[in-house]
Chains A and B, each alone.
Chain A
Amino acid sequence: MNFNWNIQKTLLTNQSSFQLNLEYASSCQSIAIFGPSGAGKTTLIKIIAGLMIPDAGSITIKNNVFFDDKQKINLKPQQRNLAYFFQTYSLFPHLTVQQNIAFSLKKGFLNPGKHRYNTEVSELLEQFELSNLAHQYPHELSGGQQQRVALARALITKPKLLLLDEPFSMLDYQLRQRLRVEVKYIQQQINCLLLIISHDPEDINFFADDVLSLKNGKMER
């Protein structure tokens, strides 16, 4: 099984509570999550990334147990070897485009240097049409440009699992088509699993072998 989870999570806010109750198993390479706003899509993806802890259940990705409440396993996000493209991009505002993309390549207490070039970073800048923006800061970029930087930053880690939360929503039609091809190409090169959230049926047709439909924290088949 590539994807296998069975999770329960209750989110409490001041006024209401939201229950996520999901069970899924699949040996597909790429799956898409589809559903209206507030259905729990981003919550699910955050739980898989390890940024939220489920109340109970288990998550196994490609025979790798990420979480299991019975066996008391809960891998840190750092140990899960995945990449997460945030809906809000979350680009580091104090780092340039090039430093943002190179962020994960540098270990230790210092950020990558402003003028240090790395072939991997250069290649991605080229592929994502960002070469001339390498030294700009995120706040100087348009929404679509930020989206591409976030995508490049996620892909450079060569993850085993790629989580994409509405990755192409800010791009124009042509760029969207081009980047889909690029992302799929990189996915095949590094041979990783893909989980994508999207409202765009074209994204889903292009990437997904299976589609999960979510509504009010539950699966709809």
Chain B
Amino acid sequence: MNFAWGALFLSLKVAGCSVVVNFLIAVPIGFLLARKKFVGKEFLDTILTLPMVMPPTVLGYYLLVLLGRHGWVGQILEIYFDINLIFTWQGAVIAATIVTFPLVFKPTRTAFESVNPCYEQAARVLGVSDISIFFRITLPLAWRGIFAGLLLSFARALGEFGATLMVAGSIPGKTETLSISIYEAVQEGNDHAANIAVIILSFVCIVVLFIAKKLTGYKIFY
């Protein structure tokens, strides 16, 4: 029984961290793509959307190649900072972040694009500075879409399996997340443990999706 709670806690920690990282990276990129014009914008959008359609194992493999002992990022981290991300929970966070990136970045871009520029224009004429306008007009009008995206990414990160397994492995108590523990339990023929983990994971995902739907006010599952 204990390991299910430990795995759930680890899953929540990994998913929570990936949401924070996505908030700091995917939201600003979504804003830039919604508001700035530059060459190759749609190409960049396509590349950033790739994790949505690529098999997580492929993403995991890329990460392994990049972050592993022989990968160029992995080598720099190891030599200069003495950091090894493979088979660590931080590695699982990176995997979950990459997999869920489009789930945050796409709705964020749409949310910012759907804010009618006439409100920002009206605020500019009223003498309010551009940075204030962002916090007083643009963000309040877009936040529902952004928040729904973050919640969706949280739910998706909780269930992340393929990429996480490739990068972080399945070390009980260290990198064995809830969804990986389900696989392991089934492999071992431990149906009871699998049942509990499946019920917990399903329940958490339903709650998160329900909140996301309530917040956006429109259907998010088609």
Contacts and interface: CB of A to CB of B under 8 A. Distances in A.
Interface of A: 49-51, 76-78, 80-84, 86, 88, 90, 92-94, 103-104, 107-111, 153, 157
Contacts of B119: 90, 92-93
Interface string B113-150: 00010110111111111011001110011000000000
A53 to B, nearest CB: 13
A92 B125 contact: no
A108 B136 CA distance: 9
B127 A109 contact: no
A66 to B, nearest CB: 12
Given A82-B125, A93-B141, 20 more contacts: A50-B124, A50-B125, A51-B121, A77-B121, A77-B125, A78-B124, A78-B125, A80-B125, A84-B122, A86-B118, A90-B116, A90-B122, A92-B119, A92-B122, A104-B126, A107-B128, A107-B129, A107-B132, A109-B131, A109-B136
Contacts of B127: 78, 81, 104, 157
Q: Name the residue among A49, A51, A107, A153 with the largest chain B CB count within 10 angstroms.
A: A51
Interface string B139-164: 01100000000000000000000000
> Nearest 6 A-B pairs (CB), nearest first?
A104-B126, A90-B122, A77-B124, A90-B118, A109-B135, A84-B125
User: Which DSSP category, helix, strand, loop or mixed, fits chain B's interface?
Assistant: helix
Interface residues of B, number: 19
B140 A94 contact: yes
A86 to B, nearest CB: 6
Among B122, B123, B127, chain A packs the most CB atoms within 10 A around the CB of B122
A94 B140 CA distance: 8
Contact of A111 (B122, B129, B136): B136
A47 B129 CA distance: 19
Interface centre among B127, B131, B135 (most CB of A within 10 A): B127
